Structure 1
């Protein structure tokens, strides 16, 4: 049994690190299209786990990366002896690339834990920013009730229709289905 294993949630069996191509002492690559064989786009999440957490240096961590069609490697998350398993979204990169040119690949890398924790804080910061944008969208929706449906009780309270969250979420889903990037698009350049 190797240092780690992975599996695609709901789509595959566990894949031991020995089944990946080791390209250096600290880096492994899995050619998804050859090994797992389904349409790579159907693989939405990958679970990475340490087979023996005590075997990994406490100052090291395993980073998981994805690449598709020869695109640059994109970081998705990390595990360490303190958190020996986790599930990460694949969010396959798309740039109109031909899969034949580079395939869909998962990369695993042993790296200093401090460096990967820095990448994690950046990744989590993006999620926090996304949450702020969702909240702002909800706030703007609440403001739209200002045309007589909302009564200002005091300076810090609003009375809104009982179903306002359902109505907002329906509108949010509709916008998200039309344009999944509407919240993450850089608005400063507009």
Structure 2
């Protein structure tokens, strides 16, 4: 077993693998609502870390996954012998009726898995691609917003009011706070 731990930034002390339920020799699960905080939506970042050097074979990595309710496990990130810790942002799915009542035990789970480093590297590559696509979606949202203010076009140049960028950012921030997935919900091709 590779000794590891997680830390919910600003909301927990380090939680070592001893507090996880071991499912099999390479998989562990932590019940977030019971062991960390019933108001899981207040958890914004998690750090996965190895607790001791040279305890994980260099060809292996630890993958961190989240599961909400009866949903599927979602890959969040990894750590390995040459990258012994990683902080990952947490995005929780919206609940019908908001977050007024914390769900029961087992609703939110964190899973840690020992996997071949090559497999985890492929997942990481996909994650980077997702971030690049998201950045492109933000840029396209900005472009379309600014283009709606265009008073004049001259070839490749658009003339816009000076406050248009500030107004876009305020709009973007408001929409993002209400729904962090508003840009990716409809996966139209970019």
Alignment TM-score > 0.5, same fold: yes
Q: Which has the higher helix share?
A: 1
Q: SS of 1:53's equivalent?
A: coil
Residue 66 of structure 1 and its aligned partner are, at CA, apart by 1.0
SS of the residue 2:46 aligns to: strand
Alignment partner, residue 130 of structure 1: 134
1:20 corresponds to which residue? 20
**Corresponding residue number in structure 2 for 1:75:** 75
Higher relative contact order (CA 8 A, sep 6+): 2
Matches of 1:133 and 1:75, distance apart in 2: 21
Mapped contact 1:151–1:160 kept (Cα < 8 A): no
Whole-Å separation in 1 of the counterparts to 2:50 and 2:76: 16
Structure 1 gap ranges (5+): none
Instruction: Tell me if structure 2 keeps the 8 A contact 1:45–1:87.
Output: yes
Bigger CA radius of gyration: 1
- Measured after TM superposition, the shift of residue 10 of structure 1 is 0.1
* Matched residue, 2:169: 169
SS across alignment from 2:171: helix
Aligned residue pair count:
183
Q: Is 1:143 the equivalent of 2:168? A: no
Structure 1 residue 94, shift from structure 2 partner: 5.3
Mapped contact 2:38–2:103 kept (Cα < 8 A): no
Residue of structure 2 equivalent to 1:117: 121
Cα distance in 2 for residues equivalent to 1:68 and 1:187: 21
| Structure 1 residues 149-175: Cα deviation after superposition (integer angstroms, max 9, x where no partner) | x563xx444454433321221222234
